Amino acid sequence: MESLKHIFIQEATELIGQLEEALLHFEKDLSDEASVEQIFRIMHTLKGSSGMFGHDSINLFTHELESVYDSIREKTLVAGPEILELTLESLDHIKNLVSDPENQEYQKEQDRLTKKIIGLKSNSKPEGSEVQAEDEMASSTYYISFVPDKEIFINGTNVFYLLEDLLSLGKGFALPCFNPNQDFETVDVTECHTSFEVMLETTAKEHEIQDIFVFVADTSEVSVIKLDLTELPDGLEERLIKEHTYSKSIGLETIKKELGVRDSNDKKEVSDNQNNKNDAQTNVKTSRKTGPSSIRVSSEKLDGLMNQISELITTQARLSMLVNGLESAELSAITENMSKITRRLRDNAFSICLIPIDTLMIRFQRLVRDLSKGLNKKIDFITEGTDTELDKSVIEQLGDPLLHLVRNCIDHGIETTEERKKQGKPETGTIRFKAYNAGTNVVIELSDDGAGIAPEQIKKKALEKGLIGADEELSTEQVYELIFKPGFSTSEKVSDISGRGVGMDVVKRGIEDLRGEINIDSVINKGTTFTISLPLTLSIIDGLLVKIGGHVYVIPLQAVEKCYEVPTTLLTSASKQLVLDGERTPVFHMREVMGASDEAPKISQIIKMSYMGNDLGISVDSIIGEHQVVLKPLGYIYKNQEEFSGATILGDGTVALVFDKSKLVKKLMNHTTNTINHGNSNHRKPVLSDV
């Protein structure tokens, strides 16, 4: 049951996302019928699946919403901003319901919204409603031919339910027809080889009949033809069955003959209409087919696949090493080929785990829309390169920091309409979101054409907050860096949108947790650009292999700014100030910190890193070289060893630990005075682990 619930939540969340996207699209063009159609269809699915999983309140609520769009579809209701507003509000409500169906507090909200929705419907009943009512009273007969798609069962569709639904509209019967070309010896039982003909006498209108097939119309052939008859004659079914061979459809002509109806112009028109409709449907069909088909796979399975592939890569590396020593041409040819395949397999598998950044955009579009309305600013949100792909886990963790940045742009960046007019700028502000690939990184640029950031103002603020000293000389870059300091917020007033003083530091931390970087560039009155650079995936990193005390460690290449060579004699204690490139830089002697016991080399390498705008160095015995490594978690037991983000397996099968730059630096800074204890000599005394 739990897992079912989970499936529902997942499905519903996806549907809500789609719905939101469709609604926002619809808002731009209120006359777009395809959007209404899509909105209606998604709502219908949501209603269906919530009903299936027993979420009655969602089911009822979506039903109400759906009927609004049904009216829009039928043009008995004109879509306007207030309807959209209400729909979006309702959508938020459904979101709440999905995530916490037990919460009673939502009931009130639901009652309120339901009332509003019902109010909408009754308000704008069109003038023609009486005529329609009369229409509805009159029954007519239809001939419906339904040829299901061969693969209809794979989608889990029960053809009989469709027929049942159809017959429940009125009085009628369905006759099956089997494909005579199928040999029972060779028939594929998972496919559908039966088609149906239905005669129906109903008060329902043609589109209501079409609606039943709305989910299969894409792939199956459905034609609904209205006959010139108000009711089906008695005994028609018996007469038809008598002559029915079941291997050939009876066909409209035969039925007409049986009914004694002549072809009339009127009918022809109807079927022409039908054809047009079919054409329209094929259009929809093709446009939808162009999107790549996809299957849903649990992320656990993907993780498993990735694990095995990284095992394969390490094994492959060992094999290659071994073969190099053997000098067997045949063997090396095979190994080389295999390593090629392995690499391709790896690239493929990694690309499976990547999803387009598009998935985040709906959230932002909604945010921009809602906030700009609330703040009375006109803002265009332009996205570019949203098909850029990132690891799923990166995208998940990226959502909140980005959301915060977008909020900041809206709140602080873009000026009010009057202000913009004064400045001679276009009334509508622009927020541009741009994503692109750059090497093994993905770069996201978020820019606005707003007020920009004034360095003096930041300095003043930082001074007030005591973040900097009065006489500190800072470069513009360093000033911008201040924005990311905890407790810094330039907003004069505290609004509910941003300016709570938590924010930019959280953004920065969030992005650094993803091993990314964020930079600001700003021109006063022209705008601000945030540039975020992120690794493609969290599991592969470019690293610098170094040796400390006989052990190999990996430092993420992105953390390394510069390398220096110094005589080891200069490094006397765990932490020391050295002059590098003319600047005094604290250098941490890693041999001391790690408690290395082997003989120190004469010359040590110093790796300069930058952390929160400060430079610092760490010393290592030697630098081995660059290496692309697959990061693996150290696991629960080592959860206190925060300075390592994980471990990786080297080509020779040994394990090397991978440093986490920001956590390592933090730890080093905190412990400059305490010599970090390292128990190599005496195992009887537990050594204070340094946490």
Contacts to other proteins by CB under 8 A = 307-308, 310-312, 314-315, 551, 593-595, 632-638, 640-641, 643-644, 646-647, 649, 653-657, 676-679, 683-691
Do 445 and 465 contact (CB within 8 A), yes or no? no
Spell 30-52 as b/e; 16+ CB within 10 A means b. eeeeebbbbbbbbbbbbbebbee
DSSP-assigned letters across all residues of 475-526: -HHHHHHHTTSTT----SS--SSS-SS-SHHHHHHHHHHTT-EEEEEEETTT
Rounded to the nearest whole angstrom, what is the least distance from the CB of residue 305 to other proteins in the complex?
13
**Between 155 and 677, whose beta carbon lies closer to other proteins?**
677
Q: How far is the CB of 502 from other proteins (least distance, A)?
A: 23
Nearer to other proteins, 38 or 316 (CB): 316
The amino acid occupying position 88 is L
Alpha carbon distances (Å) from 471 to 39, 232, 475, 570, 655? 60, 96, 13, 32, 49
Which CB atom, from 378 or from 678, has the smaller least distance to other proteins?
678
Cα separation, 391 vs 383, in Å, equals 19
Nearer to other proteins, 308 or 328 (CB): 308
Q: What angle do CA 154, 156, 159 make, to 5 degrees?
A: 100
Structure-token pair, residue 240: 């038809």
- Smallest gap from residue 338 Cβ to other proteins (A): 16
Closest distance between other proteins and the C-beta of residue 594, in Å?
4
Q: For residue 463, which phi and psi values (nearest 5 degrees)?
A: -65, -45
Q: Closer CB to other proteins, residue 622 or residue 670?
A: 670
Pick 523 or 688: Cβ nearer other proteins: 688
Question: From residue 71, how far is each of 74, 77, 125, 294, 522 by CA, in Å?
Answer: 5, 5, 9, 32, 49
Do the strands 614-620 and 603-611 form a parallel or antiparallel pair, or are they unpaired? antiparallel
Give the bridge partners for 218, in sequence order.
none
Closest CB to other proteins among residues 28, 684: 684
Shortest separation between residue 638's beta carbon and other proteins, angstroms: 6
Nearer to other proteins by Cβ, of 128 and 304: the residue is 304
Least distance between other proteins and beta carbon 395 (Å): 25
- Least separation in angstroms between residue 677's CB and other proteins is 8
Least Å distance, CB 588 to other proteins, is 13
Residue type present at position 629: V
Minimal distance, residue 318 CB to other proteins, in Å: 10
Q: Hey, what are 124's tokens?
A: 């704008």
Q: Which amino acid is at 403?
A: L
Evaluated on CA atoms 206, 212, 218, 221, the torsion sign reads negative
Q: Which is nearer to other proteins, 488 or 553 (CB)?
A: 553
Please tell me the distance from the alpha carbon of residue 294 to that of residue 306, in angstroms, as a whole number: 19
